[in-house]
A and B are shown apart, each in its own frame.
Chain A
């Protein structure tokens, strides 16, 4: 209490802490160095989001090329191999370089604010995750320029197509780029998940019990647990594949004792939890948006949290529903079928709770709510087709047709992407400090909604009349042309919508004419809405003492004993850590190491195998230097003394 009488010291006259060994960039760093060395979760979230939106454009162009190729029978927009490369890169890009990083962007920006923290538990490791994500995106897209071009193996890389023996192009390096890119992306996800788990468990503001956490923060926690348990499976699968391709092991080589079927098991043990990793963040966002725009608290908070946990847990038990047609035997196949049907229950619980939230409320049809409503309806359609797949005999008809393509695009675009867009429109005012144009937002929504449905609804029918997946062209006489053309037109409409949205987001940062957002433009419910927009670098001037769920709402409308209080500032004020070069150095080391291992095996003029590990070793050394610098550079930092209401 004594500290409240301390004279306010302006932020510029901060007390500087000298770092022990290397000077870390300090408080007044600006420009490119600020972006390269930042450890601020808000900036990191911004960079994740911007990079992911760029990859969305790239993956979208790949999709439009696919759709152009399928406009009519036997077209030649793409060759067979190019078509295979296109759907491989489209899938890999959208899953790993768009949806996952967009989720990471929101986790980074929003979660610490929602729990009353100043940053995540390990800020430098947070930055390293970002650089590893960018490195993974770079490695994957470098594949275009080397022997064989990009991988043409599907986003799931089934053995034995990935065996070097079956490469269409001699010395095809595409799968190797795919392997190393996914490994680095895996490291990014793992490090970020460790960070989020520690932050949520350990850095909550006083009074912020687990059952007062916003649902979005709960989903962050559950997704992080899913990631740390699922990513190792694919990391090992990829490592085994790498050993097969580069060092002659026989993990998936059926002629030498391996089982290609085993790759499918390992991949889908990762792959199924992965789809829950893709959808739970969007569900968390929707759980934030619906109560705000229904002017009612979330219905059945405990059940929604618990369902999220159950979905995550059971997600590990259903992986072989991707493998019904591989001949696993009646018992195994039936077991997975039953478990897959059961997992619809917690999902349905969530839908009912969102409907219950809206029931009797006063619905505000602003852009975030439109996307959230779009999520619920579109995800339901995707969920219904998913339940259809869960039946084994029905799936035997669906497998490898466009019906499956329709299903997963409904849950991934109609579900995950719409949910994330709801998040954009909901939280961009907090990030930019400006209100985005609701008219343009509604235009974006309309174009995306119409374009998306035009593209993917016909695919249910196309699949049912027999159009196969991953097939470069179709002959005349099947009746595929009309609906494919409608789908292609829809895809371009969707593309226009996404592009306008992209421009709108960028404009929001740079515009001087948009109205300021103020602290709580939506009259929303959670802690981040008690802060100014944009959020100050230290987040909270005083750590809040939380008394209830939906604290911001209770502060505005609740009884005074439920209002939050503030912890007094101690003598040191707010300790802000300095920025750091070490995550960048470490990340570059990992990038060089991965590229070095990728290119370590070359064939010389005589046709013999050359192994050159020098680039890889160089990368390893840079990495180790980064780690040692990291360990010894010390916290550095400076102290700030903001006024109590300066947040």
Chain B
């Protein structure tokens, strides 16, 4: 029994014909749906019943930068295109193309994350109005509307919108970040000389995860951002 023969990668026979890891990824994504479902429900429930808290009326449109978020949404969708191309490339055994497509996914995912970080820091910091005072801030626990008078920053008052918004989009961003690290791992692995067509199934599982994270954002963007402009 030679060692080379012993190390040969056996695809174990499965009852469904689908590899075990893929079923694992689907089961995980099913439970992840419940995670995000709970978070999105939390946000939706609080959105209407807590619009006014202690007389503190929140108009989130003053805070949102919908152009930036639309841009980052487009970027995340484009990253999914790169991911699909990476999966296609590894199926064909084209290592060079796989590397480029993985890199594209990583870069676009990172741009999305950078836009989120920018967005979060600007929401927390607030905007400067004409007199140089800070207004329209959103933090984890509070919201500040318009500044009452020149020379005074708008007052931060407790609100629940920041809680639900940051925890929901932050959880999504964490999922994206984990995906980026996973992809970076694959990118590094692709330079070790050990990557081949046999890894296609694993890259596919990574692709399932990435597409899921993208689909969750496709739900979050209208439900959290766009809805504020319509209802």
Contact = CB atoms under 8 A, between A and B. Distances in A.
B185 interface: yes
B32 A198 contact: no
A527 interface: no
B141 A236 contact: no
Contact of A243 (B34, B140, B158, B185): B140
Contacts of B38: 232-233, 236-237, 266, 269
Interface centre among A236, A572, A575 (most CB of B within 10 A): A236
Contact residues on A (Cβ < 8 Å of other chain), bracket: 35 or more
Contacts, number: 125
B20 A198 contact: yes
Interface string B14-55: 111010100110011011101101110010011001100100
Given A233-B34, A240-B167, A258-B160, A197 B141 contact: no
A190 B53 contact: no
Nearest to A243: B167
Mostly, the A contact residues are helix
Interface in B151-170: 158-164, 166-167
A247 B49 CA distance: 22
Contacts of A239: 167
A231 B27 CA distance: 13
B159 A256 contact: yes
Contacts of B16: 201-202
Contacts of B49: 259
A613 to B, nearest CB: 15
Contacts of B14: 202-203
Contacts of A122: 20, 24
A65 to B, nearest CB: 36
Interface in A175-202: 190, 193-195, 197-198, 201-202
A124 B163 CA distance: 37
Given A249-B163, A250-B160, A204 B15 contact: yes
Contacts of B227: none
B1 A15 contact: yes
A34 B184 CA distance: 34
Contacts of A208: 15
B6 interface: yes
A228 interface: yes
A251 B164 contact: yes
B149 interface: no
Given A250-B158, A251-B160, A256 B141 contact: yes
B32 A232 contact: yes
A202 B1 contact: no
B159 A639 contact: no
A236 B35 contact: yes
A256 B160 contact: yes
Contact of B20 (A202, A204, A231, A249): A202
A190 B166 CA distance: 25
Contact of B23 (A202, A244, A255): A202
Nearest to B162: A249
A111 to B, nearest CB: 14
B158 A249 contact: no
A151 to B, nearest CB: 22
B7 interface: yes
B3 interface: yes
Interface centre among B23, B140, B161, B163 (most CB of A within 10 A): B163
Given A229-B31, A235-B35, A257-B50, A250 B23 contact: no
Interface string B208-227: 00000000000000000000
A17 B164 contact: no
A198 B39 contact: no
A262 B38 CA distance: 11
Contacts of A256: 53, 141, 158-160
A631 interface: yes
Contact of A202 (B18, B32, B39): B18
A18 B1 CA distance: 13
Given A15-B6, A232-B31, A194 B24 contact: yes
Given A235-B35, A249-B166, 19 more contacts: A17-B7, A18-B3, A197-B27, A202-B20, A208-B15, A229-B30, A232-B37, A233-B34, A236-B39, A237-B38, A244-B163, A248-B141, A250-B159, A250-B160, A251-B160, A256-B159, A257-B159, A628-B185, A639-B1
11 contacts: A121-B24, A202-B15, A228-B30, A228-B34, A229-B30, A240-B42, A243-B167, A249-B163, A251-B164, A258-B163, A639-B1
Nearest first, the 9 A-B pairs at minimum CB distance are A256-B158, A257-B160, A249-B163, A232-B34, A228-B31, A257-B53, A236-B38, A257-B50, A202-B14
Interface of B: 1, 3, 6-7, 10, 14-16, 18, 20, 23-24, 27-28, 30-32, 34-35, 37-39, 42, 45-46, 49-50, 53, 140-141, 158-164, 166-167, 185
